[in-house]
Amino acid sequence: MSDSILQIRDLRVTFSTQMGELRAVRGVDVDVAPGEILGVVGESGSGKSVSFLAAMGLLPQSATITGSVKLDGIELIGAKKKAIRSVRGRSLAMVFQDPLSALNPVHRVGDQIVEMIQSHQDMNTHDAEKRAVELLEIVGIPQPNDRARQYPHEFSGGMRQRVVIAMAIANNPKVLIADEPTTALDVTVQAQILEVIQRVQQTFGTAVVLITHDLGVIARVADSVNVMYAGRNVESGPVQSIFDHPSHPYTRGLLSSLPHEGADRLQPIAGFPPNMLAPPSGCGFAPRCEFAIDACNAELPTLQPFDDLQTSCIRAVDLRIGGRS
Amino acid sequence: MIDEPLVSLSPRQMAWRRFAGHKAALICTAILSFLVLAVIVSPLTARYGVNQSVKAPPNSYLPPSKLAWLGTDDIGRDLYSRLIYGTRVSLLIGLFSAFISVFVGCVVGAVAGFRGGRFDDVVMRITDLFLAFPFLVALLVVRNMFGSIKWLTYIIGDVSSLRFIIFLLSFFGWMGVARIVRGQVLALKEREFIEAARASGASRAYIIKRHLLPNSIGPIMVALTFSVVGAISGEATLSFFGYGPQPGAGATSLGLLVGQAKGAVQTGFWWIALFPCLVLVVISLCINFIGDALRDATDPRMDAGK
Amino acid sequence: MFRFALRRSAWAIPTLLLVTFLVYIALRMGTDPLASYMRSNPRATHTKIEQYKKLNGLGSNYVTGYFSWLKNFVTFNWPRSIKGSREVWPELKDAIANSARLGIAATAVGVSVGLGIGIFAALRPGGKRDVAVNTVAFVGISVPPYISAILLQLVFAVYWSKWFGNSLFPTSGVYPPGQDGFDLVLMIKHMALPTVVVAIQVIAVYSRYMRSSLLDVLNSDYMRTARSKGLSEFRILMRHGVRNALIPVITIAALDIGAIVGGLIITENIFDYPGTGKYFLSAFGNGDFPLLMPLMVIIVASVLLFNLLADISYAVLDPRIRLD
């Protein structure tokens, strides 16, 4: 799709560890349309966070990254450090999982936002401070004027996450990557943070990548979904279609492990994710899949169009079922 | 995220692996063992008696030669042999004083950590003060004070005896260990398995024996190694300024030998300055490296830096 | 903030009194001031001895004796030295000035170099330069100051002049004999070697503190946030890394004042540098109670002062512990 604002193609990330090569991401494609909220879902270790940290250039040196990440047509993988730096924080910004540790404890909240503004915009400190207060107000922090002068430890977890969001949107980024932004928070606060993210998307037309393992979060705010498993895409498409008629057994497994009306009990997916030091040569999910056939283990499946979805399951047609199974 | 490695190792095995991976520490262990061995069998390794001249006068300040490998001192004694005997005395002082320090430090730290409250506050204040006070000044003042208390010198010996020096160095050696052990106790007190033990009705002594000691053994070992260095260099410092032990009968210590270096410098008898200093530095360096490797080995958190 | 500092300082005074009381007892027991006096002044008259006892608070009771000493001390009615009956303050003042100059120079050199190479090492943990810095630091802490002093003396006093025919760095005193008045170049030359000796210790200790503290900070989440903002590497390192890593280093620094003073005493003695170290050792050797007590008070006070400064700067650096 050429109209994507963020386009990831065949992204691969390998960590060299003492136990060998850990292939965390093994060829991932992602397309983010301008102004949409894309939910990226998968369990821990599926490579969802690593993919986007790689896109941001935030992985440690031990990571080898190949493939292509294009932001608004500009290639980021292999680009000069300075070029990446000017993108990072300006057109591509990030919100992290743990708001308690994401802010530097020794600097005032306002100053940390000012730092973000001034590193990308030619603005004097007075104006930048005013802008910081505005941003705090946008993300719903009461008395932003006073709060800007406080330190992170004087904020609650939810409030800190709002600060992190305010900081991330300070330069009107085109894409905002939110890596499990609600996981570390209380359930009631989670909903508020999601609202803030939605409001940002609606007000500024910012595209949002919402990384989560929580399908409930996806259902609430996402426009489209990208499901990952064992460092690969397994399925992607509009949120309605994924929830309505998932094509991949893994997605179905995820959905049936959610509490929903009419289900007597939750059905967890049997087995464990594969060892990424020696990932399977075929479909990563095949060892746990009740529908697996020999062909599943033969070669790595790629995303193929299927109805209005993209799926990596080679048996999608055989298994076609309408609605929830 | 990653499957468990196929072979799982006990914490002790893992610690040993990490220690063995520390090349400098292995070399240092080898050097130190060699030294200790040479010192234990000193009658075999020393070529002359500690108080014996290498030949009839003139024999003073002979430069290193076949006759005296490391030269001779002012009255013609073999520096090499004297170094061996001196090192033996210093290592003894270091080991004894380190063991006493660590023992006292463990007791004080554990009690302070367990009791908490006011007792803990006072003990830690004293510890801080001890740590902050200039070591040499405190050492000298307290040395003279202890030396003037008659009944005490019956127990710990005269100011110039080895026993007295060991006692004095231990008196100033326990604070670091006490801090470490107290920190361990406080940290472990919060951990679930201690609470579980307590909830299941284990006595305090049992908890100390079964849980705290095994968990603190790493840091205590590290503290022990550093205490040995501290005591050896403490003795050397005292001797250097003429307040060290006077073992008598021509016996000597590393500190006394280093102390002679001061005068030798002005006159240009370099061997008298160089070799004792070298031995002292090599011993400290080796023990420091071993202690550091032990710390890395027993504290997995330190792995980040490797 | 201000109240915090005030409350902390209020504690320092009773501590100072208590510790000086202990020092008073220790010195009275250890040096036996009366015997020392008699030894140095065998023909002193009875009134002289009584005056000496009164000024120094050497009554039979330690508590009342301490307070009468204290009264004379704070009213600046100081007794004269046992040996030579010299005034104490002018001598002490010079010694402190000389020591302070050496101590400040060595600390400035030591801390800046130590922190610098600590940062340098932490940037590539496990790399070649990390190993190099680590080794240098280990050698530094393993070489006692008297040994590095002796070796430097051996090189500069004996061999440099033998090989090059001049003495680049003199190995004793502040000025050559006969020099009157101030001469910066000569002073720096004389201070160079003792400064290096003390600085080696400081470098060794601080590079290790800084390295481990910075490594902890570099692994923290807010460093990733800082990088995600697109800041320059240098700004990330200084404003977010080093700034935070300094907090624990500062607290340890206060405890190190004792080590630095200890190093000074040893170094001064070897280089025949007329500072508090020489002052202390000669006074201690003579059992000169009137010379020793004021020095002890100043040492204890400076230890407490540095502790206080560390507490305050800790609170300034770390907003989380600004408790009022």
Give the model's pLDDT for residue B1: 39
Q: Which of B169, B161, B162, B160 is nearest to B142 (CA)?
A: B169
Q: Cβ contact (<8 Å) for B137 and C299?
A: yes
Mean pLDDT of chain C, nearest integer: 85
The pLDDT-based confidence of A184 (bands split at 50, 70, 90) is confident
Q: Answer whether residue C62 shows pLDDT above 50.
A: yes
Considering the entire predicted model, what is its pTM?
0.83
Domain B18-51+73-303, second-level architecture: Orthogonal Bundle (1.10)
Q: Indicate which of A13, A19, A46 best probes the interface with B, i.e. most B CBs within 10 Å of its own CB.
A: A19
Q: Is the pLDDT of residue A323 over 50?
A: no
Predicted pLDDT at A169: 94
Q: In A96-198, which ranges are E strands?
A: 175-179
Q: Which residues of B touch A45 (CB under 8 A)?
A: 1-2
- Which residues of A lie closer than 8 Å to B, measured between beta carbons? 19, 22, 44-45, 275-277
Size of interface B-C (CB pairs under 8 A): 131
Q: For residue range C13-44, list pLDDT tens digits in order.
A: 888 899 899 999 999 888 888 888 888 888 88
* Alpha carbon distance, N-terminus to C-terminus of chain B: 22
Chain A touched by C39 (CB under 8 Å): no
Greater confidence (A11 vs C180) lies with A11
Q: What is the rounded (10 degree) CA torsion for C55, C60, C64, C69?
A: 20
In this complex, the residue of A84, A101, A116 whose CB is nearest that of residue C221 is A101
- Residue C1, pLDDT > 70, answer no
In angstroms, the CA C61 to CA C21 distance is: 13
Residue A264's pLDDT band (cuts 50, 70, 90)? low
Res. C322: pLDDT tops 80:
no
Nearest-neighbour CA in chain B from C120: distance (Å): 13
Nearest CA in chain A to C233: A85
Please name the helix (run of DSSP H) or strand (run of DSSP E) that holds residue A131, with its range, or none: helix A125-138
CB contacts of C243 in chain A (<8 Å) are: 106
- Mutate which: A58, A76, A106, vs C, most C CBs within 10 A: A106
Is the pLDDT at A2 greater than 70, yes or no? no
Nearest CA in chain A to C220: A101
In this prediction, residue B2 carries a pLDDT of 42
Say if residue C182 is exposed, middle or buried (CB neighbours under 10 Å; 0-12, 13-18, 19+): exposed
pLDDT winner (highest mean) among A164-173, B256-265, C2-11: A164-173
| B252 in Cβ contact with B89 (< 8 Å) | yes
Question: Could you list the pLDDT tens digit for every one of the 306 residues in chain B?
Answer: 344 444 556 777 777 777 777 777 888 899 999 988 888 887 777 777 777 776 667 777 777 777 777 877 777 788 888 888 889 889 999 999 999 999 999 888 888 888 888 888 888 878 877 777 888 888 899 998 998 888 888 888 888 888 899 999 999 888 888 888 888 888 777 776 667 777 777 777 777 777 777 777 888 888 888 899 989 988 988 888 888 887 665 578 888 888 887 777 777 788 888 888 899 999 999 998 888 888 878 765 544 333
Q: How many CB atoms lie within 10 A of CB B274?
A: 21
Under the banding of pLDDT at 50, 70 and 90, the label for residue C180 is: low
Least confident range from A298-302, B298-302, C202-206: namely B298-302
Q: List, in sequence order, every residue forming a beta bridge with A6; answer none if it has no partner.
A: A32, A71
pLDDT score recorded for residue C323: 54
- Beta-bridge partner residues of B91: none
Q: How far apart are CA B13 and CA B72, in angstroms?
A: 48
Spans of all domains in chain B = 18-51+73-303
Q: Any bridge partners for residue B215, and if so which? A: none
Which pLDDT score, from 0 to 100, does residue A322 have?
Answer: 45
Handedness of CA A206, A211, A212, A215 (dihedral sign): positive
Indicate yes or no: CB of B236 within 8 angstroms of CB of C144: yes
- Which chains have at least 3 CB atom pairs separated by less than 8 Å from chain B? A, C
Residue C177: both structure tokens together: 């004999």
The token duo for C146 is 């008297």
The band of A195, judged by pLDDT with boundaries at 50, 70 and 90, is very high
B281 CB-near residues (< 8 Å, 6+ apart): C139, C142, C143, C147
